[in-house]
């Protein structure tokens, strides 16, 4: 279940509670869900009960966000794909998805590859876009056009997007930085910010270089896949069981294995992968490629935390052949492969390469 799907589920739940006369509130046009700021608060959180309480009318829990949240909790917990819903002060709903929803997300990313997140989210929406000779404005407009096309919108003549110009030519930028770093330098900052064009920052292969982290994260996912082939592990999904791996391989005792995607580092990465389609929509709608660039940085950083905390390949005695790779290894490998697809797809939309080796 993606954030967009969960948003629609919560909105539908509000609407049904109003129709059944269990709530007396105005049904909003949309509901926002977000990743909780702290671990242990579910996969997603929403403040919809707080917003509904502010506009509540009548005797039923007027201004009582906790009462509204409890009504929604009882209904949401019965929705397919939702495992648990908790109410937190002053009225937040913390939602935990079922494990199958996580597997379905990974399956969707792997099946769509670089086009994961593309679709018709902006179908019928016209996005005004202007032209210009200034190098940054021209590049931003070009990338926005691709984002609008990827999300089903239509570009129409108009102003903007407005960005701060840079005091160098495109030729000079390419000479000093090369195509990848030059594009990143112009696209990563918000339009009102002046880009950092220092080659010492943009070309360094260090953690303080965000472009390096994103490209290196993608290269690491490809390295995992190459190394996995030595163990005969592939990120394949058994349709009936929802478990990754080779159906011909004997499965480990499920009671001795931790459930797939239960570690906080895994769920944090999954949340960012699920949010990728909405990020593309927002970047296109607001003509802001920097939103996609920031999302890629966050995804790369989440991948590294996952990579360090949740080994996707056997090691030590496991790798010597004394123990076969477990279902957990295969599921983690599939998640790493999905992360690589999101990173590569996002870089492609920005016109930046996604190296296999770095």
pLDDT tens digit sequence for 104-130: 899 999 999 999 999 999 999 999 998
Rounded Cα gap, residues 228 and 217, in angstroms: 16
Euclidean distance between CA atoms 73 and 231, whole angstroms:
44
pLDDT at 245: 40
Q: Quick check: 143 pLDDT over 90?
A: yes
Cα(178)–Cα(272) distance, rounded to whole angstroms? 29
Please enumerate in sequence order all residues whose Cβ is within 8 A of that of 80, keeping only pairs 6 or more positions apart, or say none: none
235-245 pLDDT, tens digit each: 655 443 344 44
For residue 315, what pLDDT is reported?
A: 73
Residue 28: Cβ-neighbour burial (10 angstroms; 0-12, 13-18, 19+): middle
- Could you tell me the pTM of the whole model? 0.79
Q: pLDDT digits over 246-264, tens only?
A: 333 333 333 333 446 878 8
**What backbone phi and psi angles, to 5 degrees, belong to 164?**
-75, 125
Structure tokens at 191: 């339009």
The pLDDT value given to residue 325: 66
pLDDT at 188 over 70: yes
What lies within 8 Å, CB to CB, of 287 at 6+ separation is: 127, 129, 140, 144, 160, 161
At residue 354, does pLDDT exceed 90?
yes
Angle between helix 3-19 and helix 276-285 axes, rounded to 10 deg = 90
Higher pLDDT, 312 or 40: 312
Q: Using CA atoms, how far apart are residues 211 and 300, in angstroms rounded to an integer?
A: 10
Among the residue ranges 45-54, 195-204, 229-238, 296-305, the one predicted with the least confidence is: 229-238
pLDDT at 59 > cutoff 70: no
Q: Is the pLDDT of residue 86 over 90?
A: yes
Between 218 and 105, the higher pLDDT residue: 218
């Amino acid at each position: 279940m993606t954030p967009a799907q969960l948003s629609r589920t919560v909105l539908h739940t509000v609407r049904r509670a109003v129709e059944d006369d269990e709530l007396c509130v105005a049904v909003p046009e949309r509901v926002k869900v977000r990743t909780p700021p702290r671990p242990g608060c579910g996969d997603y959180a929403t403040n919809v009960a707080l917003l509904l309480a502010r506009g509540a009318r009548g005797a039923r829990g007027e201004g009582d966000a906790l009462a509204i949240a409890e009504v929604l909790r009882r209904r949401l917990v019965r929705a397919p794909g939702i495992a648990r819903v908790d109410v937190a002060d002053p009225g937040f709903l913390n939602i935990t998805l079922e494990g199958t929803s996580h597997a379905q997300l990974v399956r969707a990313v792997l099946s769509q590859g670089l086009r994961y997140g593309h679709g018709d989210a902006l179908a019928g929406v016209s996005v005004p876009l202007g032209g210009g000779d200034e190098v940054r404005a021209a590049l931003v407009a070009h990338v926005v056009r691709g984002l609008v096309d990827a999300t089903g919108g239509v570009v129409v003549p108009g102003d903007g997007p407005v960005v701060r110009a840079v005091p160098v030519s495109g030729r000079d930028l390419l000479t000093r930085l090369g195509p990848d770093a030059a594009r990143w330098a112009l696209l990563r900052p918000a339009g009102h910010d002046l880009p950092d064009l220092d080659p010492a920052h943009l070309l360094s292969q260090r953690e303080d270089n965000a472009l390096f982290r994103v490209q290196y994260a993608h290269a690491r996912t490809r390295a995992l896949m190459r190394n996995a082939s030595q163990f005969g592990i592939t990120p394949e999904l058994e349709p009936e069981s929802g478990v990754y791996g080779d159906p011909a391989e004997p499965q480990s005792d499920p009671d001795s294995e931790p459930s797939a995607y239960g570690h906080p580092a895994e769920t944090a990465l999954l949340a960012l992968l699920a949010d990728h389609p909405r990020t593309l929509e927002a970047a296109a709608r607001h003509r802001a490629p920097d939103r996609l660039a920031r999302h890629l940085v966050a995804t790369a950083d989440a991948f590294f935390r996952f990579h360090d905390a949740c080994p996707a390949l056997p090691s030590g005695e496991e790798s010597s052949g004394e123990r076969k790779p477990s279902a957990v290894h295969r599921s983690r490998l599939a998640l790493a492969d999905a992360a690589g697809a999101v990173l590569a797809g996002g870089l492609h939309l920005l016109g930046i390469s996604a190296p296999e080796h770095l």
